[in-house]
């Protein structure tokens, strides 16, 4: 195949985890084979399809062409084999380069060697095809240190540990699973398509295969009716898996999510921010005998400071939560406004006099504009990040 800088392209999907922001994005499957979760709007009305091995290898060839061309450009600019900021500047400021070309140039300069396979469940591929694609990627793009993919527990539970070891040895060494909840009632309500038993079986297989596992948890997903059950059962599942990472993604339900219909119909009563924080406290308190790193690495989480390694940092994480819950109501409101508006990342930021003054002025303005409905405004600010 013949390429040039303006037309060279390869297929990419719509999303990736925040932790993969600096990864090369390659699409191995299109959309989601399940696509029924009511909390997720991403792939709705988009049909799932498996990309052929030929399609995938052609995309990898396109990446290889870009890398070779970048290194040739670097040589012309006096830097042998290295993509420098000068090279990147040429690519970003010249109109003759495709978006995919720019993506590879940025990735190459960062030198992280990480790749993320899109879309929602690449492990649904036949093992032999996935292994062949991974080996081809490693052959054509040397220096890759980590390859990551989303996967579904229902899919992973059907794979054998030997299959997963073969996939890991071919290069795919990190898996992101949307566990969401360990409560079967909550999982059924949001049409997750996976059970607590499948979550445990899949997680244990991934860990046994020597892969790095991130489990995503959705505080607040059970609403007021199942909040305690959601926290306790999720902790039970996590205790059985002992994943490398537990990543919190507090639920948000803007109108474009199917789950919003359940809220409107009264089938789900959402928690307040304070109730979600209390639920997270119960979750962490119930985690026992595991060695996971828990992170709040998303703006949807109110308390970004709730992060650490278990068990040694458990008390410190609970202390952050207790510190917030002990704040006077006015201080909580000010912090929530600052956090949802993107001005604050930590409780300590409230001690910054300049930030605090700006927030207090903003609070007065917003109270005037919204006729006192600050809660509605804060919720709208939170929804903007989805």
What's the chain's average pLDDT? 93
Lowest model confidence (mean pLDDT) among 24-28, 118-122, 140-144, 358-362: 358-362
Q: What is the pLDDT of residue 359?
A: 85
Lowest model confidence (mean pLDDT) among 5-19, 140-154, 297-311: 5-19
Q: Could you report the per-residue pLDDT of 236-252, keeping only the tens digit for each? A: 999 999 999 999 999 98
From 62, 30, 48, select the one nearest 136 (Cα to Cα).
62
Q: Give all strands (DSSP E) within 33-96, no chain letters.
A: 49-50
Kindly write down the DSSP assignment for every residue of 176-226, as one continuous string: EEEEE-S-HHHHHHTT-S--HHHHHHHHHHHHHTT-EEEEEE-TTTTTTTS
Distance (Å, whole) CA 119 – CA 368: 44
Q: What is the pLDDT of residue 382?
A: 64
How much is the CA Rg of the chain, to the nearest whole Å?
23
Q: Could you report the per-residue pLDDT of 177-198, keeping only the tens digit for each? A: 999 999 999 999 999 999 999 9
Lowest model confidence (mean pLDDT) among 29-33, 58-62, 297-301, 325-329: 297-301
Average pLDDT over residues 298-322: 96
What confidence tier does 31 reach under pLDDT thresholds 50, 70, 90? very high
- Check whether 112 has a pLDDT greater than 60: yes
What confidence tier does 5 reach under pLDDT thresholds 50, 70, 90? confident
Helices first, then strands: H and E counts in the chain: 15, 10
Q: What is the pLDDT of residue 191?
A: 98
Kindly write down the DSSP assignment for every residue of 222-280, as one continuous string: TTTTSHHHHHHHHHHHHHHH--SEEEE------TTSTHHHHHHTTS--PPPHHHHHHHH
**φ, ψ at 171 (rounded to 5°):** 130, -20
Average pLDDT over residues 136-156: 96
The residue assigned the tokens 């199917």 is 258
- Check whether 365 has a pLDDT greater than 80: no
CA 17, 18, 19: angle at the middle one, nearest 5? 90
Tell me the pTM. 0.93
Q: Could you report the per-residue pLDDT of 334-348, keeping only the tens digit for each? A: 899 888 888 888 999
Cβ neighbours of residue 311 closer than 8 Å, sequence gap 6 or more: 288, 289, 290, 291
What confidence tier does 329 reach under pLDDT thresholds 50, 70, 90? very high
Distance (Å, whole) CA 174 – CA 136: 18
What confidence tier does 16 reach under pLDDT thresholds 50, 70, 90? very high
Burial class of residue 184, CB neighbours in 10 A (0-12, 13-18, 19+): middle
Average pLDDT over residues 283-290: 98
Lowest model confidence (mean pLDDT) among 1-5, 37-41, 157-161, 202-206: 1-5
Q: Could you report the per-residue pLDDT of 222-236, keeping only the tens digit for each? A: 999 999 999 999 999
Q: Could you report the per-residue pLDDT of 261-277, keeping only the tens digit for each? A: 999 999 999 999 999 99
Q: What is the pLDDT of residue 111?
A: 78
From 253, 127, 259, 233, select the one nearest 179 (Cα to Cα).
233
């Amino acid at each position: 195949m013949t390429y040039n800088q303006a037309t060279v392209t390869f297929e990419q999907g719509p999303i990736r985890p925040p932790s993969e922001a600096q990864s090369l994005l390659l699409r191995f499957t299109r959309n989601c084979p399940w696509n029924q979760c009511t909390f997720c709007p991403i792939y709705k009305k988009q049909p799932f399809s498996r990309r052929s091995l030929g399609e995938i290898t052609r995309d990898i060839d396109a990446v290889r062409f870009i890398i070779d061309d970048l290194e040739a450009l670097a040589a012309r600019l006096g830097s042998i084999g290295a993509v420098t900021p000068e090279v990147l500047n040429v690519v970003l400021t010249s109109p003759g380069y495709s978006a995919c070309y720019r993506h590879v140039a940025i990735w190459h300069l960062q030198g992280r060697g990480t790749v993320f396979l899109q879309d929602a469940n690449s492990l649904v591929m036949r093992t032999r095809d996935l292994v062949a694609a991974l080996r081809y990627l490693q052959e054509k793009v040397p220096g890759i240190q980590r390859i990551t993919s989303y996967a579904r527990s229902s899919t992973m539970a059907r794979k054998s540990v030997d299959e997963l070891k073969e996939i890991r040895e071919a290069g795919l060494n990190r898996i992101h699973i949307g566990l969401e909840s360990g409560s079967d009632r909550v999982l059924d309500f949001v049409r997750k398509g996976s059970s607590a038993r499948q979550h445990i079986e899949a997680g244990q297989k991934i860990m046994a295969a020597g892969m790095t596992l991130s489990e995503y948890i959705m505080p607040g997903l059970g609403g007021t009716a199942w909040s305690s059950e959601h926290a306790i059962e999720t902790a039970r599942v996590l205790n059985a898996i002992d994943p490398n990472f537990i990543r919190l993604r507090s639920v948000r339900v803007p109108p474009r999510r199917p789950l919003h219909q359940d809220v409107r119909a009264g089938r789900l009563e959402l928690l307040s921010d304070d109730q979600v924080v209390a639920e997270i406290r119960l979750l962490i308190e119930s985690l026992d005998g595991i060695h996971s790193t828990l992170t709040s690495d998303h703006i949807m989480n109110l308390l970004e400071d709730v992060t650490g390694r278990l068990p040694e940092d458990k008390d410190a994480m609970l202390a952050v939560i207790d510190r917030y819950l002990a704040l006077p109501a006015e201080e909580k409101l000010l912090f929530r406004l600052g956090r949802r508006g993107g001005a604050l990342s930590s409780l300590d930021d409230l001690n910054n006099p300049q930030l605090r003054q700006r927030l207090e002025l903003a609070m007065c303005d917003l109270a005037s504009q919204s006729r006192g409905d600050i809660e509605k405004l804060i919720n709208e600010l939170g929804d903007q990040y989805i």
